[in-house]
Structure 1
């Protein structure tokens, strides 16, 4: 190991001074068979004797070091250890310091048995996702069950001139170890070698009873380190119901300071641009449109559909936005570039707009994180128009409609790229329209039913359904509706396993209309149904239609100690008409049952009209969305959804079978009801 082996993306050699140096005899001393280790191994689990992890940050690079020793007692773990992939970013070097095994008490160097290949980590370029990442494939031959594998490596990410954010600001999140592993000794160290002070915040740690503790914040000056140790440790977190404890490290800043740092950068790039100079064709088209709403629509759809979205994973965090003239000329750019171009166009037509920074994937955590620009991974545009706020993602495609009819983006936290800004939280939202407006007509004559579904989708639903019909085979679309109706009509209860194509004969579906200004997409499904009644084991016949999409199983089944329920249901309206040439029980409890629910987070109603040969139900659900439902309010929310599930999500009618005895039975039933 005295000689460094240098390759473009990886190197084999000794550790740097900041990581320390462990001699072979020290490794063997640390691999001790304790009662804790023996208990874990006896249970058939793999055991990590020690894991030392260090993260170092300065103004020129970020470095991470890991040294660990763990058992290979499980075949699956042996397989993963034998062949592994390491992903390195642009200008990042992976350093291998030691690959060894302890076998029968003897330390064996496995670097001579290691084969390393460097591959491009590129699989989505055709979708506009570019990455300069490399995949380092490591194959270690002759690993054996019951070996103890020792891996010591590090990675160093050197900042380029483009990495201006990473040079100025540090951001790192340590997450508690995986709950599968048992650790004899676990040590994590964060080293601050930056000029600026770094804050570290411990969040979602728990006391012995499992209760979440209040966050702790510490500060590290240059040269100081934060050390976190665990011994004989198994992570007790229930991953399905609890959030893993984590420690957030970030350069000590306030949101206002960060907004004042980033706003001039965006302002300089967008402010110097003249749309008339670099995009006269766009200006000409805008000037020809007399209606302001149509101008806004044109601006959004031009950038979304005419500027190709290129996402460079290495450039999103830490790089200045591209100049709008370049974006227009090249007809491509990332989210920052497309958002800036859209803002410049909106500025030209006199619409108040701004760039906002978001992270849809970690939106819940942003309110807990320390302030940092590196928290965000996406840029979108906020439009203030006629007293309302609208958020537009310039990177999406195939979205339509005037501003108030466009798709709604679900997220809560954002930082506006303006001076003196704090982290903002969006207001809850109530749809001014029904995302789904469906009419179901099912008429049965003799032994055949005629089924017609007419559905109008709006907003996000219209965009999604338009894309679905555009990209999906017609037969597949029809089968999708058939399968849905197979359950809605309860045929799964008396003819499960039957080919749905033999139930819904002559099935057809067509697009009725596509209004791209209102962003309304209407389709109609038609089919004939032989043997249209559901028949129970006693021979009783029913005509039923229950739409299980209405009952929101996600709300009814939700259980989590830390995460509040994120409410993002669509507004819905259904008219279900079931009619037959048979006499029905007009007084049956569930046929006549109606419901009205006024919950703080949604209004629900089902209203019915029953005749001697059928019934109609009108169902409406109007939710208040884009919010977290507090835990103290959730049980009432859940209970109200249970009420919906109690036969209030559709309609069922009971057939009175012809014949004297059946009529007598019905009369007896009515008399003693």
Structure 2
């Protein structure tokens, strides 16, 4: 083997006693081509003869052991097996117990053909993400198609003082295996060697008819094991529409117990460090700001933009926040550090605030998990101001506005760092402002159209658009708008393949205003269009403007048996005016059609004004967001979105061509339509 010196990140040795020991003879005996195996291989499915996985936890370490044997019948599978990578945390050791192949009935040791390199896993360090993780690159020479690869390895994370939370609490989520694989034998074992009792909760398991069973909660005392074992197994989960069954293992605690555990850790920091002690210059700036609303805005934006965000993966394993004086002095810190500093500043100006624990990535699942501090991976600040509740992520940058005008963070579950707290759910939210307010005007004279768009963005939209205009080339921005309008004006159906720059002549886009208090970003677009009419195959002319962003395709297409639909759309308002010097059909069904939709989750209204040479439609869309729509109410919700899509998301006008014959043809068509 090409590794004369062993280093601390990996070892080659026998498994620990708790993992067991399997001999070569037992291995060969387990790799048998049963009728089930032959059927799967004949169908071209990758096949795993056996998978034996064990998770071991104690108050000193967490360890995971895997032994498996699988086919290399596909070139892609062979390629992935030949070169693989394992990422280990600080003080975590990857141990190789066996690398072998079964080739033509002969077991061959491949450890002498294995090359191992240890690399730093710091590919994002320039972005403020610091980690002591190591990447172990494993290259196995001379693997061949139709080999059976046997891998036996484990990883052990020994706890340091920094891992005080992992010493105290255990959390592990087992998820049923990928349904791509077929398994001759599948086994998972959880071993509790902790002094504390561990609870485990089985969720999204199903009966024979595929119905989700009620969650089950059981317990493991020290020395006890939980085992799942299956033979001739293919996971039957419909991955596109069902949640994979999972089991959450966690040290048994209530949310109140966990809340009271963590509160003293934060209180110790807050009680010992006031802003007057370490930031006199910042206090001078705060005192110079007039009005509490403006002081609050200044405080949030100071921490977001002047304190550099460093994600230290090792520090995030615990919950001891950095002292605010250190964060202020160094002008950097992780999410805990930035939130603690922000709360200290808000305490000084007299604004009620608290630190809350969240996990945006697994927010949906937290309600199913057992209570555990290890379910959270992020910290934000909750602010109570003028009778309203706001949440601020101190780690983001380039967000602006007084507190009521700032962007909204979408998540549902959180644990507040206060005594005797339980897991809380946020209330649904209705925007106090319009996220998009757009006026569109297309005026067609002779063979030329003049198009104008004036758009005001607020909240998250303003922040995003401000960043976009700051970081994107002007020509690219104009092309993006032109491309959107190419479809909105229906030119994609009568001049497909035409260079959009030749359609939208003299196109320009400019920032009209950028109000950092109202958090309003306003832009203006103009263009000249030769031949502004859409012409159908029968040479009928139309002026059309349909904004497909108004149609919520994700709501119309959503299909899932287990997940409720997460409602997070923006409030929108549009005024679309189409004018022409031609006579139009003022009674055409879709031109005059209006809509009023009053759904529990959104109100939608379109109103029109029709003249002999044009029309205007006003559209308002006001959703109730940050909530899950129950499945029994979803079909009505979906149907109302279908109504929006039924020509209620824009405006179209039909041109009556001049001339006696055209008028006769038009009247004939209207009469017998």
TM over 0.5: yes
Aligned to 2:166: 166
Checking the alignment, whether the CA contact within 8 Å between 1:5 and 1:12 is kept in structure 2 is no
Per the normalisation by structure 2, the TM-score is 0.99
Instruction: Measure, in 2, the Cα distance between the counterparts of 1:618 and 1:457.
Output: 17
Instruction: Measure, in 2, the Cα distance between the counterparts of 1:282 and 1:517.
Output: 20
Instruction: Measure, in 2, the Cα distance between the counterparts of 1:666 and 1:101.
Output: 79
Mapping of residues 174-253 of structure 1, within 5 Å: 174-253=174-253
How far 1:495 sits from its partner (Å)?
0.4
Deviations 1:511-557 (A, max 9, x none): 00000000000000000000100000000000000000001001000
Aligned to 2:20: 20
How far 1:33 sits from its partner (Å)?
1.4
Checking the alignment, whether the CA contact within 8 Å between 1:162 and 1:319 is kept in structure 2 is no
Checking the alignment, whether the CA contact within 8 Å between 1:4 and 1:11 is kept in structure 2 is no
How far 1:600 sits from its partner (Å)?
0.2
Q: Secondary structure at the match of 2:194?
A: coil
Instruction: Measure, in 2, the Cα distance between the counterparts of 1:44 and 1:407.
Output: 50
Deviations 1:431-481 (A, max 9, x none): 011100000010011100000000000000000000000000000000000
Structure 2: give runs of 5+ residues left out of the alignment: none
How far 1:612 sits from its partner (Å)?
0.3
Mapping of residues 562-577 of structure 1, within 5 Å: 562-577=562-577
Deviations 1:150-199 (A, max 9, x none): 00000000111111111100000001011110001111011111111000
Instruction: Measure, in 2, the Cα distance between the counterparts of 1:8 and 1:16.
Output: 17
Aligned to 1:130: 130
Q: Secondary structure at the match of 2:162?
A: coil
Deviations 1:574-616 (A, max 9, x none): 0000000000000000000000000000000000000000000
Aligned to 1:147: 147
Q: Secondary structure at the match of 1:374?
A: helix
Aligned to 1:427: 427
Structural RMSD (CA): 1.2
Identify the range of structure 1 (565-574 vs 100-109) with the bigger mean alpha-carbon deviation. Answer: 100-109
Q: 1:542 to 1:4 in 2, by over 3 A?
A: same
Deviations 1:21-76 (A, max 9, x none): 11111111111111100100111112111111000111111000000011111111
Aligned to 2:306: 306
How far 1:5 sits from its partner (Å)?
7.5
Determine whether 1:526 maps to 2:526. yes
How far 1:286 sits from its partner (Å)?
1.0
Aligned to 1:547: 547
How far 1:317 sits from its partner (Å)?
2.5
Instruction: Measure, in 2, the Cα distance between the counterparts of 1:14 and 1:256.
Output: 43
Checking the alignment, whether the CA contact within 8 Å between 1:4 and 1:12 is kept in structure 2 is no
Instruction: Measure, in 2, the Cα distance between the counterparts of 1:527 and 1:55.
Output: 63
Instruction: Measure, in 2, the Cα distance between the counterparts of 1:519 and 1:476.
Output: 24
Aligned to 1:38: 38
Deviations 1:227-271 (A, max 9, x none): 111111001111111100011000000000000000110111122
Instruction: Measure, in 2, the Cα distance between the counterparts of 1:672 and 1:612.
Output: 22
How far 1:6 sits from its partner (Å)?
3.9
Deviations 1:97-148 (A, max 9, x none): 0000111111111000000000111111111111111110000001111111
Mapping of residues 402-413 of structure 1, within 5 Å: 402-413=402-413
Aligned to 1:98: 98
Aligned to 2:640: 640
Q: Secondary structure at the match of 2:361?
A: coil
Q: Secondary structure at the match of 2:81?
A: helix
How far 1:671 sits from its partner (Å)?
4.7
How far 1:302 sits from its partner (Å)?
0.3
Instruction: Measure, in 2, the Cα distance between the counterparts of 1:359 and 1:115.
Output: 38
Checking the alignment, whether the CA contact within 8 Å between 1:187 and 1:230 is kept in structure 2 is yes
How far 1:653 sits from its partner (Å)?
0.1
Checking the alignment, whether the CA contact within 8 Å between 1:299 and 1:346 is kept in structure 2 is yes
Instruction: Measure, in 2, the Cα distance between the counterparts of 1:278 and 1:111.
Output: 57
Q: Secondary structure at the match of 1:79?
A: helix
Instruction: Measure, in 1, the Cα distance between the counterparts of 2:90 and 2:649.
Output: 53
Which of structure 1's runs of 4+ aligned residues deviate more than 6 A? none
Q: Secondary structure at the match of 2:584?
A: coil
Aligned to 1:267: 267
How far 1:672 sits from its partner (Å)?
5.3
How far 1:4 sits from its partner (Å)?
12
Aligned to 1:456: 456
How far 1:667 sits from its partner (Å)?
2.8
Q: 1:5 to 1:58 in 2, by over 3 A?
A: farther
Q: Secondary structure at the match of 2:65?
A: strand
Aligned to 1:333: 333
Q: 1:225 to 1:4 in 2, by over 3 A?
A: farther
Checking the alignment, whether the CA contact within 8 Å between 1:4 and 1:14 is kept in structure 2 is no
The aligned length equals: 672
Checking the alignment, whether the CA contact within 8 Å between 1:98 and 1:151 is kept in structure 2 is yes
Aligned to 1:385: 385
Instruction: Measure, in 1, the Cα distance between the counterparts of 2:4 and 2:43.
Output: 41
Mapping of residues 375-524 of structure 1, within 5 Å: 375-524=375-524
How far 1:319 sits from its partner (Å)?
3.9
Per the normalisation by structure 1, the TM-score is 0.99
Aligned to 1:282: 282
Instruction: Measure, in 2, the Cα distance between the counterparts of 1:338 and 1:271.
Output: 17
Instruction: Measure, in 2, the Cα distance between the counterparts of 1:585 and 1:330.
Output: 69
